[in-house]
A and B are shown apart, each in its own frame.
Chain A
Amino acid sequence: MSLLEVEGLSVWMQAGRTRIPIVEDVSYAVDPAEIFGIAGESGSGKTLSVLALIQLLPRGMIATGRARLDGRDLLTLPRRAMRHVRGKEVAMVFQDPLTSLHPMLPIGRQMIEHVRIHENISRRAARTRAVELLTEVQIPDPQSALQSFPHQLSGGMRQRVAIASALATRPRLLIADEPTTALDVTVQAGILQLLDRLRRKHELAVMLITHDLGVLSAIADAVHVMYAGRIVESGRAGDLLLSPRHPYTRALLDALPHADDEQRRELRAIPGQPPQPFARPPGCAFHPRCPYERPECRTDRPELLAVDGRRRLACHVDPFRSLS
Chain B
Amino acid sequence: MSLLEVRDLIVDYRRQGVVVRAVAGVTLSVEQGEITGLVGESGCGKSSLARAIVGLVRPTAGEIVFDGRRVAPLGRGARSPHETRLQMVFQNPYASLNPRRTIGSQLVDGIRLSAARRRQDYSGRVAELLEMVGIPATAARRFPHEFSGGQRQRIAIARALAAEPKLIVLDEPLSSLDASAQAQISNLLVKLAREFTVGLLLISHDLAIVQSIADRLAVMYLGTIVECGNTGEVWADPRHPYTEALVGAIPSVKKVGRLPSPLAGEVPDPADPPQGCRFHPRCPKVFDRCREDAPELYEAGEERYAACFLWDRRPDQTVSRRETKEVA
Contact = CB atoms under 8 A, between A and B. Distances in A.
A157 B41 CA distance: 15
Contact of A266 (B41, B187, B211, B246): B187
A156 interface: yes
A202 to B, nearest CB: 18
Contacts of A6: none
A189 B180 contact: no
B249 A188 contact: yes
Given A218-B255, A237-B257, A251-B180, A185 B250 contact: yes
Interface residues of B, number: 44
B251 interface: yes
Contacts of B254: 217, 242, 258, 260
B256 interface: yes
A186 B184 contact: no
B318 interface: no
A21 to B, nearest CB: 21
B187 A259 contact: no
Contacts of A241: 253, 256
Interface string A249-268: 00111011111110010111
Contacts of A269: 180-181, 183-184, 187
Interface in B234-253: 235, 245-247, 249-253
Interface string A135-161: 000000000000000000011110000
B266 A154 contact: yes
A215 interface: yes
A238 interface: yes
Contacts of A255: 179-180, 182-183
A154 B149 CA distance: 27
A219 B262 CA distance: 14
Given A189-B260, A192-B259, A218-B260, A259 B266 contact: no
A264 B37 CA distance: 15
Interface stretch (B77-85, B103-111, B202-210, B305-313): B202-210
Contacts, number: 137
Contacts of A187: 41, 262-263
B178 interface: yes
B180 A270 contact: yes
Nearest to B191: A266
A196 B261 CA distance: 13
Interface residues on A, range: 35 or more
B256 A259 contact: no
Interface stretch (A71-79, A206-214, A315-323): A206-214
B259 A189 contact: yes
B267 interface: yes
A266 B263 CA distance: 31
Contacts of A193: 259, 262
B42 interface: yes
A217 B181 contact: no
Contacts of B213: 257
B257 A259 contact: no
Contacts of A31: none
B94 to A, nearest CB: 13
A184 interface: yes
B180 A41 contact: yes
A252 B256 contact: no
A213 B205 CA distance: 17
Contact of B253 (A41, A256, A267): A256
A190 interface: yes
B91 interface: no
A256 B179 contact: yes
Contacts of A238: 256-257
A259 B252 contact: yes
B250 A259 contact: yes
Interface string A47-77: 0000000000000000000000000000000
Contacts of A190: 262-263
User: Which one of B179, B205, B235, B258 has the highest number of Cβ atoms from chain A below 10 Å of its Cβ?
Assistant: B179
Contacts of A211: 178-179
A14 interface: no
A273 interface: yes
B2 interface: no
B267 A154 contact: yes
A269 B263 CA distance: 32
Contacts of A214: 208, 250-253
Contacts of B178: 41-42, 211
A119 B266 CA distance: 34
Given A219-B259, A241-B256, A267 B251 contact: no
Nearest to A195: B259
Contact of A260 (B42, B183, B252, B266): B252
B191 to A, nearest CB: 10
Contacts of B179: 41, 211, 213, 252, 255-256
B217 to A, nearest CB: 13
Given A41-B178, A189-B249, A184 B256 contact: no
A185 B213 CA distance: 19
12 contacts: A186-B41, A186-B262, A189-B263, A214-B252, A217-B251, A218-B255, A252-B180, A256-B183, A257-B183, A257-B211, A259-B208, A260-B252
The 10 closest A-B pairs by CB, nearest first: A257-B212, A190-B262, A267-B183, A214-B251, A186-B263, A189-B262, A269-B183, A269-B184, A184-B41, A189-B260
Given A184-B41, A273-B148, 4 more contacts: A189-B261, A218-B258, A258-B208, A258-B253
Interface of B: 41-42, 148-149, 151, 178-184, 186-187, 190, 205, 207-209, 211-213, 232, 235, 245-247, 249-263, 266-267
Interface of A: 41-42, 154-157, 184-190, 192-193, 196, 211-219, 237-238, 241-242, 251-253, 255-261, 264, 266-270, 273
